[in-house]
Amino acid sequence: MNYDLIVVGGGPGGLMAARTAAADGLKVLLVERKKNVAEIARACLQIFYINKITPNPETGRGEPNMDGYIDPVSAEILPEKCRFHFPVPGFSLDFGGSVRAYYNWIQTSPKGYQIHRYIPNEKVWGFYYQKEAFVAELLASAQKAGAEVMPETAALSAANTGDGVEVKVRRGQTEETLKGRNAIAADGLNSRIVQSLGLNENRHAGAPRHIVAYVVEDVVAPYHDTSFYSWTIPSISGGGNVWMGLLAGGRHLLGVGSGADLPPTTILDNFLKLPAFHDWFKNARVVDKMVTAVTPRASLKEPVTGNVVIVGDAGASAESWVQGAVASGYQAVKAIEKERSGHTGYRDYINWWQKAFAFNYSAYQKLLARVYPLNRVCSDDDIDYLFQLFQDEIGIPALLVTANLDRVKKGRPELYEKIKATLKG
């Protein structure tokens, strides 16, 4: 059986592609390795960022939300649903599941000094959205539009064959070859499709980061219903920050990412014992756990090869975010249709991809290099000092500090030298 389009991966990107293509009349097959397509098996903060992300490397101010989709998006709250607008690709997406508004991002030191990333309680910078419901709705609309969905089917490789694509999959113990005119690789960070097409050869990969998150009930913290929290506590978490986001039903997701040297569960268990925040968790209960691993890679600069278009995390450096996955799923289908009708669909897609994600900008890469070294060279005491020094500023602590090092030099010259050394090279 020959398909117009084979979509590999049933996450937000793949499902958006399948739905878009099917609605346009294409014969679509989507393959997903999990048994339950809508199940969220990997730890995810489930945040839909809505502000335009423009990092300001000079002042450290603005909304530098790091590595994802930076085309503008907005959210409209309607009576029974939320409507997400994507003006650049030119579509909107309705969502009937749970959303909770984020007004604050509170960055906290070991003793509890705070630097706000955004002006407190001023405006919404993002929404918690219930990802399981989001994926379930996309799945239903893709199937309603006529896409065929095949769960329990793990894609192994893809090959371009002149005017088509062959995708090798495994169902149980059997291997099968699926044939189509085009394929979309939406199988996430460690995409087997991307690997099999030889696209990882020049993509430098970092060490895997291990992420563990606890689903917690009955946390009571300042502004706990409207805030995202992050804690910089080098003595327990090394180079990573512990974070806490919102979930449906008043719950929170408390998690951390770490390298191989320090198990994330150890960090979280030590965090929950800290006296500075003990009150917040004294009645709290851990009711579930989400985990994942993230192997960061250089992003794919040209996410098209032959008749295969790559979308979402499969081409990203670490995360494209849900809006990036959905936008690229849509754009990929439009690109394929444009290309098939004799226009420069692929080139347009590549040009759009290179501008739409912060991880494709060298300025962003430089910014990233300034953010994390602070955790690695500072002690808990250093962090308390810095957060107290900058507690009336708005922005990302590491960027505020490195852009205003003269203020640190005055009070703590040895700390100044330590931080300055991380900026060399």
Alpha carbon distance 359, 67 (integer Å): 5
Beta strand residue intervals within 192-263, DSSP E:
209-217, 227-231, 242-246, 252-258
Work out whether 1 is an interface residue with other proteins (CB under 8 A): no
Min dist CB 88 to other proteins, Å, is 30
Cβ closest to other proteins, residue 265 vs residue 391: 265
Give how many residues touch other proteins by CB under 8 A.
Answer: 29
227-231 β-sheet, strand order? 114-116, 104-108, 227-231, 242-246, 252-258, 209-217, 285-294
Stretch that binds other proteins, among 84-92, 256-264, 344-352, 387-395 (CB under 8 A): 256-264
Q: Which is nearer to other proteins, 71 or 152 (CB)?
A: 152
Return the closest-CA partner of residue 188 out of 321, 336, 354: 321
Residue 5 Cβ, how far from other proteins at the closest point, in Å?
A: 22
**Beta-bridge partners for 93:** 84
Q: How far is the CB of 317 from other proteins (least distance, A)?
A: 17
Contact 406, 420 (CB under 8 A): no
Find the part of the chain contacting other proteins (CB under 8 A) among 285-293, 315-323, 337-345, 346-354: 285-293
Residue pair 253/244 in contact by the 8 Å Cβ criterion: yes
Output 196 or 307, the one with its CB closest to other proteins: 196
Residue 374 CB, shortest distance to other proteins, in Å, is 24
SS3 of residue 217 by DSSP: strand
How far CA 226 is from CA of 103, 276, 331, in Å, comes to: 5, 21, 33
Binding flag, residue 200, other proteins (CB under 8 A): no
Closer residue to other proteins (CB): 26 or 314: 314
Which residues, at least 6 apart from 161, have a Cβ–Cβ distance to it below 8 Å? none
Q: Which is nearer to other proteins, 220 or 293 (CB)?
A: 293
- Residue 353 DSSP symbol: H
Q: Which two tokens stand for residue 227?
A: 């805030």
What is d(CA 124, CA 280) in angstroms, rounded to the nearest whole number?
A: 24
Amino acid identity for residue 395 in this structure: G
Only one of the segments 184-192, 225-233, 329-337, 395-403 lies at the binding site for other proteins (rule: CB under 8 A); that segment is 184-192
Among 211, 236, 253, 254, binds other proteins (CB under 8 A): 211
Residue whose entry in the numeric block shows the structure tokens 């960027």: 399
For residue 170, state whether it binds other proteins (rule: CB under 8 A).
yes
Q: Does 295 bind other proteins (CB under 8 A)?
A: yes
Strand partners for 6: 29, 183
Nearest residue (CB) to other proteins, 145 versus 291? 291
Q: Which CB sits closer to other proteins, 261 or 392?
A: 261
Residue 289 interacts with other proteins (CB under 8 A)? Answer: yes
Site for other proteins (CB under 8 A): which residue of 212, 333, 367, 398?
212
Stretch that binds other proteins, among 91-99, 267-275, 287-295, 415-423 (CB under 8 A): 287-295
In terms of C-beta distances under 8 Å and separation of at least 24 residues, what long-range contacts does 274-283 make, across chains too?
274/110, 274/233, 274/236, 276/110, 276/111, 276/112, 277/112, 277/221, 277/231, 279/220, 280/219, 280/220, 280/221, 280/224, 281/216, 281/219, 283/218, 283/220
Q: Does 42 engage in binding with other proteins (CB under 8 A)?
A: yes
The answer to whether residue 205 forms part of the interface with other proteins (CB under 8 A) is no
**Least distance (Å) between residue 153 CB and other proteins:** 11
Binding site for other proteins (CB under 8 A): 33-35, 41-43, 152, 154, 156, 170, 187, 190-192, 195, 208, 210-212, 260, 263-265, 289-293, 295
